[in-house]
Chains A and B, each alone.
Chain A
Amino acid sequence: MAKLSLEELRKLRDEKRYELDKRETENKDTEIIVGMGTCGIAAGAKEAMQAFIEELNDQGLSNVAVKQTGCMGLCYSEPTVEVHLPGMPDIIYGDVDPETAKKIVRKHIMGKTLVNDHIYDRPAADIVKKD
């Protein structure tokens, strides 16, 4: 691959944006939030994040936001990932290896079906801020 300049990067983005404008604004408010605390990193959160980005691009899902956060307190089930998808309950998935990440894209985001054997209820009780 030739070394890209920022100008070429901008051009690539504009081409993609053109494709994007032609599509519906589907998935605009969809977010995937990957826990990137020490525990998440040690358990492979970066590989999971990379798998999300690759699968979303492979499936042509351009609008999904992939964000990172710190530890959600579920250190025993890292990598943990929170998924917000309009019309679906907010879900925290645990033990998300790259294969599970791809499954979450295909089943949860595209198929609107939960990936049942990886669901965790909510961040650990001692991590949730009490008002």
Chain B
Amino acid sequence: MHRTVSDIITDLVQNSVEAKAGSILIEYREDERLLTILLGDNGSGMEPDVLERAKDPFANDGKKHPGRRVGLGIPFAVQTAEMTEGSFDIDSDPEQGTSVKLQLIKDHPDIPPIGDLVSCFAGLMSLSGDFEMIITRVLETSGRKDSYRLQRSELIDALGDLESSTSLGLLDTYIRSQEEALLDPANKGG
């Protein structure tokens, strides 16, 4: 399985990009008990039989890597959900794209570490391709709800590109400032 929750997210979103999605919506929602990750794309989607096989670690659609007999991205997410009493749901339609919901119990003893969420989000935003991506990060704790939203087209507009080392450094700084403000207990949110 993947070492961190961030790695699972990167892997699933990489699938959306490889499915030629023009629009990718991600929500990372955290409350006191649950971590909920929602992903929706309008990529090429999968027929029901392909979708079923995608959950099998020893299956491969034969297109990306003909001759290889494994495909571990989705199975890693399924495995993490199963071993931590969480849930993983995936729906897909060749005409509409794919949606995924991964829900994990935060204090389950086997939940993997979250990883560096900021560099995860920055990495997602800078995946190569021509697509829109919106990431909404929501934190709900007792008496407080706060969020921030990252939109790829706005970031490209502000930075000029999401490829040069300068832009990627600034992107990290920007997202880190959003995350730090979100986690700051002095911030009452809205």
CB <8 Å contact, B11 and A41? yes
Is B87 an interface residue when CB atoms closer than 8 A count as contact? no
Q: Are B166 and A20 in contact (CB under 8 A)?
A: yes
The CA-CA distance from A3 to B116 in the complex, in Å, is 18
**B58 CB to closest chain A CB, in angstroms?**
14
Give the residue name and chain of the B residue nearest to A49 (CB): B123
| B140 contacts A by Cβ under 8 Å | no
- Considering the complex, which residues of chain A in the window 65-109 have a beta carbon less than 8 Å from any beta carbon of chain B? 65-71, 73
* Residue B136 CB within 8 A of the other chain: no
Q: Which residues does chain A contribute within 8 Å of B65, judged by CB atoms?
A: 71, 73, 126-127
Interface residues of A (CB under 8 A from B): 1-4, 6, 9-10, 12-13, 16-17, 20, 36-39, 41-42, 46, 49-50, 52-54, 56-57, 61-71, 73, 126-127
Give 26 CB contacts A-B under 8 Å. A1-B177, A4-B173, A6-B155, A9-B158, A12-B170, A13-B159, A13-B170, A17-B166, A36-B10, A36-B127, A38-B72, A46-B6, A49-B123, A50-B116, A53-B172, A54-B169, A57-B169, A62-B164, A62-B166, A66-B126, A66-B163, A67-B126, A68-B128, A69-B128, A126-B67, A126-B68
Residues of B within 8 A of A (CB): 2-3, 6-7, 10-11, 14, 18, 64-68, 71-73, 76, 115-116, 119-120, 123, 126-128, 154-155, 158-160, 163-170, 172-174, 176-178, 180-181
